[in-house]
Chain A
């Protein structure tokens, strides 16, 4: 909780520091110095808003030659110097027809002078020198205030409900998901048939929350298999995920009171290549014919091959993923499918962990807020009030 207070203080002070200033400079038009290609005219040098303070926007009026001799101008080149007398360096170019350029290579607070050169095939014409322009460092990106509000809101909700759940020792109501019974049933059947249980954590590494949610479910599956003495097979895609799975399974065996039955080699690294992995798992399915297949985690195109191959080997299949593209195959070919967030909710329920349960509750409240925000948004917009939409505007 102390930490949250600290975050708040940090954010509030940020907002207070929000001191974006815009400096503008105009200058007088230049005389044409060429017959055919007339020079452009710089109209303004502005600090690029909401940035690091390393960029100046240069705006100019297009050279009259653009309309007089279409196609005569190829591009505008922009030159910069740190004083009107010193040499000008080229900082960039834009195609004909464009009248704005952001020079992203400036030091905050330093004055700069610019000129824009219209370049044709054989001749060119430079605008008069304009300046000084300065870029200003900003401490808060104003465009993102709606984002900030939502980040604070959601993080607060989740953190608060985790604390509440901890205080209540995890005794918070979560809807019973039919998949829990299915897990027990599937492992039970594998035991009866004397066949192994295949558990696949998906293609993501441990920094994917789906993999972590999958670990909670793996813990339950491993505990059951340890208790029944059923063989568990966990091929992994990433070395890190493998190490984490080993630890999880080891603990589960300990909880089930059978630490000696734990075999490290049952959880092994196969390959990090997607289809190499598919081929490997496919091989396991065809050769060993596991009686229960679990596909929980992040899945990509391999989902269908797994689900369909598992279907032909006659395994009970339980799937769950937050990868929206893959859900259709699981829904069609598996016995039970956890859709998106249900994967996280199932992980929370199974572990009985107040932290996970609290987060799910916090997420639920956030969803309720979204729900009413949308309804309020529609009602207000129909009444001609755009306030809720403006808060969410990013540009």
Chain B
């Protein structure tokens, strides 16, 4: 019985160590297990696939560094898909710390991979404060709430924005969201009001709550966490950060399931002893 007692009083730092090992090991010895694509991700892929060329897609960077490992790969994959389909992209964000991440992603995909022209094929409006209230105004008049882009250029000097005035001119909105303001605001204040197509990429923590909106059609797609991003990477045929991370995910998930079982075994043994 002493083993059980010892385990039940195990310092949590051993558990911490086990997690670090479980996540690290597959980085050195990758397994390369294939990722299964799920319906909510495929749905978004199909929507983008069917948009007419040159349509405007708004990508809202509603995350900060702490959401980056999950949402940055999804942002990259979606940008890649949009530019491959020759769509125009409008980037803005409701989280100030997300602005450099959006710039970075555009630099990586639009400039280096696709050689797209700023102002014609894509624009970036940086941080927009006001949350829900901002979205209500955005849907009605984009130019009014986005006076200058992230570099200080007036909106009228951007050729692409001549075709983008209100929600009607935006074919699809994808919010890369990790909290408030984010998906909730986009659904309640933008989609409900202006009825455009809306999809979301969520951190794995927020994603479960958006399944009801998927069923009602308020969302046309849902990318949940790193797995969702890995699925999207598979759909656009790249092996990015998210795909590499899936092996570590597998190992860590198995460890946690093991610990849950062990924890409950200890609990059960102690209860029987009493």
A contact residues vs B (CB 8 Å cutoff): 55, 74-75, 90, 92-98, 102, 104-105, 204, 274-275, 298, 300-301, 312, 324-325, 394-395
Contact among A55, A204, A301 with B66 in the assembled complex (CB-CB below 8 Å): A301
User: Are A95 and B55 neighbours in the complex by a CB distance under 8 Å?
Assistant: yes
Q: Which of B28-36, B120-128, B202-210, B249-257 forms part of the interface with chain A?
A: B202-210
Query: Could you tell me if B162 and A394 are in contact, using CB atoms closer than 8 angstroms?
Result: no
Task: Answer yes or no: B195 CB below 8 A from chain A CBs.
Answer: yes
Q: Given the complex of chains A and B, what is the CA–CA distance between A55 and B140 in angstroms?
A: 11
Q: Which residue of B lies closest to A52 (CB)?
A: B140
List 27 interface pairs A-B (beta carbons < 8 Å), by A numbering: A74-B54, A75-B54, A92-B162, A92-B163, A92-B165, A92-B169, A93-B54, A93-B163, A95-B53, A95-B55, A96-B53, A97-B52, A104-B166, A104-B168, A104-B169, A105-B165, A204-B180, A275-B66, A300-B179, A301-B66, A301-B178, A301-B205, A312-B12, A324-B209, A325-B205, A325-B208, A395-B195
B192 lies within 8 A of chain A by Cβ: yes
Q: Distance in Å from the Cβ of A326 to the closest Cβ of chain B?
A: 8
Contact present for B162 and A90 (CB under 8 Å): yes
Interchain CA distance A95-B178 in the complex, whole Å: 33
CA distance A220 to B82 in the complex (A): 54
Given known contacts A95-B55, A96-B52, A300-B179, A104 and B205 CB-to-CB distance under 8 angstroms: no
Residues in B with CB closer than 8 Å to A55 are 168
By CB atoms of chain A within 10 A, which of B168, B206, B209 has the most? B168
With both beta carbons as reference points, the residue of chain B lying nearest to A301 in the complex is identified as B205
- The answer on a CB contact under 8 Å between A301 and B168 is no
**Are A300 and B208 in contact, CB atoms less than 8 angstroms apart?**
no
How far apart are the CA atoms of A374 and B162 in the complex, in Å? 46
Is the Cβ of A95 less than 8 Å from the Cβ of B162? no
Whole-angstrom CA separation of A274 from B169 in the bound complex: 35
Task: State the Cβ distance, A70 to closest chain B Cβ, in Å.
Answer: 12
B165 pairs with A325, CB closer than 8 A = no
In the complex, residue of chain B having the shortest beta-carbon distance to the beta carbon of A93: B163
Report Cα–Cα, A274/B165, bound state, in Å.
34
B27-70: CB near A (< 8 Å → 1, else 0) gives 00000000000000000000000001111000000000010000
Bound CA span A96–B55, Å = 10
What is the bound-complex CA distance between A325 and B168, given in angstroms? 32
Tell me the total A-B contact number using a CB cutoff of 8 A. 47
Would you give the shortest CB distance from A59 to chain B, in whole angstroms? 14
In the assembled complex, which residues on chain B have CB atoms less than 8 Å from the CB atom of A92? Answer: 162-163, 165, 169
Interface size class of B (residues with CB under 8 A): 20 to 34
Q: Determine whether the beta carbon of B206 is less than 8 Å from that of A325.
A: yes
A97, closest chain B residue (CB): B52
Q: Most chain-B Cβ atoms within 10 A of its Cβ — which of A93, A97, A325? A: A325
By the criterion CB–CB under 8 Å, are B205 and A394 in contact? no
Fill in one digit per residue for B150-169: 1 if any A CB lies within 8 Å of its CB, else 0: 00000000000011011011
Contacts of A104 in B (CB 8 A): 165-166, 168-169
- A95: chain B residues within 8 A (beta carbon): 52-55
Question: Which B residues are in CB contact (< 8 Å) with A105?
Answer: 165
* Contact present for B206 and A394 (CB under 8 Å): no
Q: Interface 1/0s, chain B 169-181, versus A by CB < 8 A?
A: 1000000001110
Residues of B within 8 A of A325 (CB): 205-206, 208-209
**CA A300 – CA B195 in complex, angstroms?**
28
Kindly name the residue among A94, A95, A105, A300 whose own CB sees the greatest number of chain B CB atoms within 10 A. Answer: A95
A-B complex: 3 closest residue pairs judged by Cβ atoms: A95-B54, A95-B52, A102-B168
Q: What residues of chain A lie closer than 8 Å to B168, measured between beta carbons?
A: 55, 102, 104
Q: A96-B53, A275-B66, A301-B178 are in contact. List 15 more A-B contacts (CB 8 A).
A: A55-B168, A90-B162, A92-B165, A93-B163, A94-B163, A95-B54, A104-B166, A104-B168, A104-B169, A300-B180, A301-B203, A301-B205, A312-B12, A324-B209, A325-B208
Name the interface residues of B190-219: CB closer than 8 Å to any CB of A: 192, 195, 203, 205-206, 208-209
User: Which residues of B have CB within 8 Å of A102?
Assistant: 168
- A208's nearest neighbour on chain B, judged by CB, is B180
Q: B178 → chain A, closest Cβ, in Å?
A: 8
Distance of A146 from chain B, by nearest CB (Å): 12
On chain B, the residues within 8 Å of A204 by CB distance are: 180
Query: Which residue of B has the minimal Cβ distance to A308?
Result: B12
* Cα(A274)–Cα(B65), bound, Å: 12
A394-B192 in contact given A95-B53, A300-B179 (Cβ < 8 Å): yes
In the bound complex, residues from chain B placing their C-beta under 8 Å from that of A75 are 54
Give Cα distance in the complex from A394 to B162, angstroms.
30
Residues in B with CB closer than 8 Å to A97 are 52
How many Å from the CB of A394 to the closest CB on chain B? 7
CA–CA, A301 and B179, complex, Å? 9
Query: Please, how many angstroms separate the alpha-carbon atoms of A104 and B140 in the complex?
Result: 9
State in angstroms the CA–CA spacing of A324 and B12 once bound together.
27
A194 to B136, CA, bound (A): 51
Residues of chain A contacted by B208 (CB below 8 angstroms): 325
Q: How far is the CB of A52 from chain B (nearest CB, A)?
A: 8
Residues of A within 8 A of B66 (CB): 274-275, 301
Instruction: Name the residue on B nearest A275 (C-beta).
Output: B66
Chain A residues whose CB sits within 8 angstroms of the CB of B180 once the complex forms? 204, 298, 300
Among B66, B162, B205, chain A packs the most CB atoms within 10 A around the CB of B205
